[in-house]
Amino acid sequence: MTRFSAPIAEQIWDMKYRFKAADGTPKDVTVEDTWRRIARDLAQVEDNPAKWEENFYGALEDFQYLPAGRITAGAGTARKVTLFNCFVMGTVPDSMGGIFDMLKEAALTMQQGGGIGYDFSTIRPKGADVHGVAADASGPLSFMDVWDAMCRTIMSAGSRRGAMMATMRCDHPDIGDFITAKSDAARLRMFNVSVLITDAFMEAVKADASWDLVFDGKVYQTVQALDLWNRIMQATYDYAEPGVIFIDRINAANNLSYCETIAATNPCGEQPLPPYGACLLGSINMARLVADPFGAGAGLDEEKMTRLVATAIRMMDNVVDTSKFPLPEQEREAQQKRRIGLGVTGLADALLMVGLRYGSDEAAAQTEAWLKAIARASYLASVDLAKEKGAFPLFDAEAYLASGNMKNMDEDVRDAIRTHGIRNALLTSIAPTGTISLYAGNVSSGIEPVFAYAYTRKVLQKDGSRTEEEVVDYAVQMWRDLRGDAALPDYFVNAQTLAPADHVKMQAAAQKWIDSSISKTINCPADISFDAFKDVYMQAWDTGCKGCTTYRPNDVTGSVLSVSEDKKAAPEVIANSDAEPMQPHGDVIYMADPLDRPETLEGNTYKVKWPDSEHAIYITINDVVIGGRRRPFEVFINSKNMEHFAWTVALTRMISAVFRRGGDVSFVVEELKAVFDPRGGAWMRGKYIPSILAAIGGVIEQHMIVTGFIAGEGMGLKTDPTAQVVDLENAAPRGKACSSCGSYELRMVEGCMTCASCGFSKCG
């Protein structure tokens, strides 16, 4: 008998969490071996390891408590990886040396598997004086590009690339550029970005008052707060970023406001953290705690929940002592405060099991009551740990009890903390649980609604064929098992049909008893009006949320893109099924066969001198005239440096072959510009270039601009349009492909594009 309730659960375990030797041989033969490995490792710091190993195993058994992916994959493996999920790095100094020291720290952290957050508000704005070098500052956005290039190269522990969050204050002079940075689909691809919104700014927005953009005490510009707010909203409406973080609210509610200031979060936003702050995560599986599901006496088993929470808190506290850390500053911060983030998953399934419609007033009230019970159990368990092992080192009873969150806690809990102290400064957080939710049997993620009750998943077999299997939501499968073919009750709703206001209502209800924050996506229909969209954010502010992340299908992050093929005409690129056809820019011609080379071509030769290289590279670009219009036809790349010979010849042949096929070949520029050299790039003409190949891409781009093939820098296509030609009669409209398995099953869950087919997510 297998413990897995669905094939996808076992596949996720095998792919992401099963401990295997370097040659791929499984060391965890069964999932019970995985639970045993985790339990034994986290019990090693106890005075009675054997006793606690059994208790920890009992909590893990049958997916009741789900440690976050880093713990599940890494605990007990003796690998040099961190078990902490998320970090906020140190404050970025406003100096070149300090900035690149921070870049190194980021690389070391991501190398061990940590997602990181940075506040770039501390870097002087573009155009500000740089004293001592008679130059103007390039601004924080230019350095974010450097971080982005680094992150594309660093492979996190396991198999996923690092994820990053960048924040910027709403009063920074470069906030306008920050807001629109991701309108370019090729830029800052490794970042999530969020604006730090202050209470004063929201007051100015509501009063339509003026707002100063300031750095180091100097006012650079004065704008209308409402205009700036509308720019943030428009960018988010158009391409789903930036997110919004209500930073003053976060600091006011922080249990540790007396000894730290927060200015950034981890990549998914559920962990606002101070400089070098670190947090580990785990989730209680609410779907496993409902007694008599779908029955007359359905309800949460609070006694079982309390025992499970107490064990989970102890396990997470032990992770602080067993985990490795990329940097000593992170270890010191974790040890001083012992911050943990216990959350939930399967909430929507649990609500269904007790007969409540997600998003209703009754469901919101029940969610608040359940999460209060979990918060109480967590705090009391941490008090018991403090009695046994001591309070966290920076505990100050008077200051701690006077903090925002603690003022709302029940008096008996406050008295216990006052008398005995508390082991962990912060205890609760709602993290993304997409992959571990699949691993637990496809329970609903975090506090999100059920995304889809069932869908068909294509599975790649060893022989290259694909089979199909149905993936069913955990609660729906339970209903089928209990009621057979009986129709689902009308209180079954999913993310596709839920109103945005209902999402916000549930987030606000949950936030009341969460110490940190919540990773949640508010799904909005593509046809939502801009005013209604803005109201979602204002509702989040008015109801006490600490931030807001929405997703509206759009052209940049994954709206439906379908391309029709007509053998007699150039293909038309269609943004969505209701849009007017648009010709690819440049009035270009797509050819079935490559053009023959004319005897003479007009062209230019460019010289690129790469720093620290003895010989220059010469790039010749020749053009052909078609329909009275000049377009690139071939490239020759030459250098006296024989170390470059093989790749320059290969690049010459490949780029020329692409150019001779016709069409809008400007995507070649964007591909080259995105190449990052792990040995380091170089500053050329005041701009950071991540590699020689990127420099070559820049030369080709400038040639295309001069000859009129593209309108300006960054105006090239991001992908080859001819690679996306499909037959509309035989293929359904689809968005972007998963970078892991290639399927077209990406969906936005908890702030991250997640593949429904293989479970891949940028965020873990």
pLDDT tens digits along 320-342? 999 999 899 999 999 999 999 99
Question: What is the distance between the alpha carbons of residues 466 and 460, in angstroms, rounded to a whole number?
Answer: 5
200 domain residue, yes or no: no
Instruction: Name the helix (H) or strand (E) containing 376.
Output: helix 361-389
- pLDDT value of residue 735: 57
Q: Quote the tokens at residue 684.
A: 């050329």
Question: In this structure, are residues 589 and 608 in contact, taking their beta carbons and an 8 Å threshold?
Answer: no
Distance CA 327, CA 276 (A): 9
Q: Give 600 or 514, the one with higher predicted confidence.
A: 514
Residue 111: the pLDDT is 78
Residues facing residue 638 across a β-bridge: 618
Tell me the H-state helices in 421-518. 434-439, 474-483, 500-511
Q: For position 743, what pLDDT does the model report?
A: 61
Over residues 237-264, the mean pLDDT reads 95
Residue 313 CA to residue 424 CA, distance in Å, equals 9
Q: Coil, helix or strand for 414?
A: helix
Confidence band, pLDDT 50/70/90 cuts, at residue 549 = very high
Q: What is the mean pLDDT of residues 221-235?
A: 97
pTM: 0.78
Instruction: Compute CA distances 583 → 12, 417, 464, 586, 661, whole Å.
Output: 42, 67, 36, 9, 18
Domain-located, residue 695? yes
User: 617-626 and 602-608: which strand pairing?
Assistant: antiparallel
Backbone angles phi, psi at 575, to 5 degrees: -70, -40
The Cα–Cα gap between 506 and 494 comes to 13
Q: Are 604 and 619 in contact (CB under 8 A)?
A: no
Query: Is residue 54 over pLDDT 60?
Result: yes
In a domain, 683, yes or no: yes
Q: Residue 162: pLDDT band by 50, 70, 90 thresholds?
A: low
Given a cut of 60, whether residue 566 has pLDDT beyond it is no
735 close to 559: Cβ distance less than 8 angstroms: yes
Distant-in-sequence, close-in-space partners of 10: CB < 8 Å, separation ≥ 6: 2, 4, 31
Task: Say how many C-beta atoms besides its own lie within 10 A of residue 669's C-beta.
Answer: 31
Q: What is the pLDDT of residues 16-50, one digit of tens each?
A: 899 999 888 999 999 999 999 999 999 999 999 99
Q: Which of 84, 65, 86, 120 is nearest to 270 (CA)?
A: 86
Q: Is residue 611 part of a domain?
A: yes
Closest Cα to residue 164, out of 567, 763, 761? 763
Ordered DSSP codes for 252-276: HH-TTTTT----EE-TTSS-EE-TT
In this prediction, residues 305-334 reach a mean pLDDT of 96
Q: Is the pLDDT of residue 564 over 50?
A: no
pLDDT of residue 658: 87
Transcribe 289-329 into DSSP letters.
Answer: SEESTTSTT-EE-HHHHHHHHHHHHHHHHHHHHH-B-SSHH
- Closest Cα partner for 761 from 278, 156, 81? 156
Q: Is 450 helix (H, G, I), strand (E, B) or coil?
A: coil
Q: Which two tokens stand for residue 616?
A: 């220059």
Q: Which of 186, 94, 183 is nearest to 140 (CA)?
A: 94
Tell me the HSE value of 206 on the side-chain side, using a 13 A CA sphere: 11
Is 704 domain-assigned? yes
Q: Taking residues 599-615, what's their average pLDDT?
A: 82
Query: Is residue 267 one of the residues assigned to a domain?
Result: no
Give the span between the Cα atoms of 581 and 505, in whole angstroms: 39
Q: Higher confidence at residue 253 or residue 647?
A: 253
DSSP state of 13: I
In this prediction, residues 395-423 reach a mean pLDDT of 95
Q: Are 195 and 201 in contact (CB under 8 A)?
A: no
Give CA–CA dist 443/472, Å, rounded.
9
DSSP H/E element including 194: strand 191-197
**242, 179 Cβ separation under 8 angstroms:** yes
Give the DSSP letter of residue 287: G
Average pLDDT in the 65-72 region?
Answer: 94
Return d(Cα 447, Cα 342) in angstroms, integer.
Answer: 13
pLDDT mean over 227-236: 97
Catalytic positions are 266, 268, 270
Which span out of 263-272, 593-602, 661-670 was modeled with the highest average pLDDT?
Answer: 263-272
Distance CA 720, CA 523 (A): 29
Query: What percent of the chain lies above the pLDDT cut of 90?
Result: 58
> Could you give the CA distance from residue 465 to residue 459 in angstroms, rounded to a whole number?
8
The 10 Å CB-count burial string (b at 16+, else e) for 127-152 is ebeeeeeeeebbbbbbbbbbbbbbbb
527 CB burial (10 A radius; 0-12, 13-18, 19+): exposed
Q: What are the strands, taking DSSP E only, across 71-160?
A: 86-88, 115-119, 129-130, 135-136
Output the six-digit token pair for 640. 């006296």
**Does the pLDDT at position 580 exceed 60?**
no
Q: Which of 75-89, 199-213, 641-655, 700-714 has the highest mean pLDDT?
A: 199-213
pLDDT at residue 586 in the model = 37
The tokens for 11 are 């596949």
Q: Report phi then psi at 351, rounded to 5.
A: -60, -40
β-bridge partners, 164: 116, 191
Q: What per-residue confidence (pLDDT) applies to 731?
A: 43
Q: What is the pLDDT of residues 269-284, one digit of tens each?
A: 899 999 999 989 999 9
Between strands 340-345 and 278-285, the pairing is parallel
- In a domain, residue 318? The reply is no
Distance set, CA 322 to CA 273, 434, 713 (Å): 21, 25, 49
666 is in which domain, residue-wise?
Answer: 585-716
E strand or H helix at 683: strand 682-684
What is the gyration radius of the CA atoms in the chain, in angstroms?
27
Tell me whether the omega of the peptide bond preceding residue 242 falls within 30 degrees of 0, making it cis. Answer: yes
Cα→Cα distances 666→46, 368, 623, Å: 61, 52, 14
Number of domains in the chain: 1
pLDDT at 390 over 60: yes
662 within some domain? yes
The sign of the CA dihedral 465, 468, 469, 473 is positive
